[in-house]
Amino acid sequence: MDTVTYPDKKVVEVVNKYSIPLKVGHDTVLDNVDRDVKWTPQLFLAEPSGKLLADSMGFLPPLELAPWILLGNGRLEFQKGNMNKATNLMNIVVNDYPDSHWAPEAMYLSCVALFNDTHEPEALKKAYTGLTSRYPQSIWSLKAQPYRLL
């Protein structure tokens, strides 16, 4: 990842804007992070308190790492109840990284966050229609199926 992913311009931009990177050896023990590294690279996205938000084992190319970081931050904003911030971060994933593995989840969560913010059922219906048209084979498309009834 040092050669391919980390030097990528978009990755550098996202890392600098949405995280505080920390690179440690596989045998390093981190206070407040209850994780053992069994394979490298092992990526963790954590709050400053050490609460783990997400982790990823193995190589991620640039077009997967940047949206993974954005999605993790969007999930954090969602959990904090900051639906507008969550929606904005998820929309960056969907719009800037539409072919990434993370885009379907981001689309789903963007619509759910919008619903939580507006209480408009149309936001959930948008999740169903968007996911079934752009990502029909995604698990997130299946999760949105009940919204077709709205």
**The domain at 9-149 falls in which architecture?**
Alpha Horseshoe (1.25)
Render the chain in DSSP notation, one character per residue.
-TTTTTT-HHHHHHHHHH-------TTPPPTT------SSSEEEEE-TT--EEEEEES---HHHHHHHHHHHHHHHHHHHT-HHHHHHHHHHHHHH-TTSTTHHHHHHHHHHHHHHHH--HHHHHHHHHHHHHH-TTSHHHHHTGGGGG-
Tens of pLDDT, residue by residue over 45-86, are 888 777 888 888 888 898 999 999 999 999 999 999 999 999
pLDDT tens readout for residues 102-150? 999 999 999 999 999 999 999 999 999 999 999 999 999 999 999 999 8
What pLDDT was estimated at residue 26? 66
